[in-house]
Chains A and B, each alone.
Chain A
């Protein structure tokens, strides 16, 4: 069956450090992968999309990598700030569906 697995543990990091989140998947052959941010009491908000032929994508302090051989995406938040504290979800397309991982909660300490 298809699975999307993200870091099972919450991530607590010091301000200024880099947070690295993992998204592993099985039984998918995605043409792309998306990352979303979700704050408490809010809906997910799109952050980044990376396509299967792209190794790396950057947006400001965010960096995403996509390894279709390992079936893994890494999401990095560099120079982290307390405002980056949120839950981050990876999402993979499956036909017309967008399936989400369980998310990793990141807390950045000042």
Chain B
């Protein structure tokens, strides 16, 4: 398996523009997580899906952020409108069956720069 695949790897956009980050989890994994990583705040969980259903989006910073998982093999994280403070590395991770100590498999991340 190719692992968790994220696209794009790098994104530079202007403030106010819409940004869409994409993730393909590992086949057969039923849990999917979106994290954001910055120097100041480290790795923060934004949202968690189980079997394509959003379970908890309390980590989503504002209404400007939204996430979807239309099927088991695809998820998106959208920021509209984007702001410079959204600049960070965004990671998608998947897990076979969450709970009981299952490890999380991370993608390579998308480095977002909002200018």
Residues of A with Cβ closer than 8 Å to B? 31-32, 34, 41-46, 49, 51, 89, 91, 93, 96-103
The 5 closest A-B pairs by CB, nearest first: A43-B106, A46-B103, A100-B43, A102-B42, A32-B101
Chain A nearest CB from B96 CB (Å) reads 12
A49 proximity list for chain B (CB < 8 A): 101, 103
Chain B nearest CB from A103 CB (Å) reads 7
Please tell me if the beta carbons of A43 and B93 are within 8 angstroms of each other in the complex.
yes
Residues of B with Cβ closer than 8 Å to A? 4, 31, 33, 42-43, 45, 48, 50, 55-56, 91, 93, 98-99, 101, 103-109
Please tell me if the beta carbons of B55 and A96 are within 8 angstroms of each other in the complex.
yes
Most chain-B CB neighbours within 10 Å: which of A32, A46, A101? A46
A42 proximity list for chain B (CB < 8 A): 108-109
Partner of B42, one of A51, A93, A100: A100
Please tell me if the beta carbons of B108 and A43 are within 8 angstroms of each other in the complex.
yes
User: Chain B interface mostly helix, strand, loop or mixed?
Assistant: strand
Please tell me if the beta carbons of A97 and B45 are within 8 angstroms of each other in the complex.
yes
Identify 5 residue pairs between A and B in the complex whose beta-carbon atoms are under 8 Å apart, listed by A's number: A44-B104, A49-B103, A96-B56, A97-B48, A99-B45
B103 proximity list for chain A (CB < 8 A): 34, 46, 49
B48 proximity list for chain A (CB < 8 A): 96-97
Closest to B43 in A: A100
Please tell me if the beta carbons of B107 and A96 are within 8 angstroms of each other in the complex.
no
Q: Please, how many angstroms separate the alpha-carbon atoms of A14 and B49 in the complex?
A: 43
A34 proximity list for chain B (CB < 8 A): 101, 103
Partner of B98, one of A43, A91, A96: A96
Please tell me if the beta carbons of A46 and B105 are within 8 angstroms of each other in the complex.
yes
Closest to B98 in A: A96
Chain A nearest CB from B81 CB (Å) reads 27
Please tell me if the beta carbons of B42 and A96 are within 8 angstroms of each other in the complex.
no
Q: Please, how many angstroms separate the alpha-carbon atoms of A42 and B2 in the complex?
A: 15
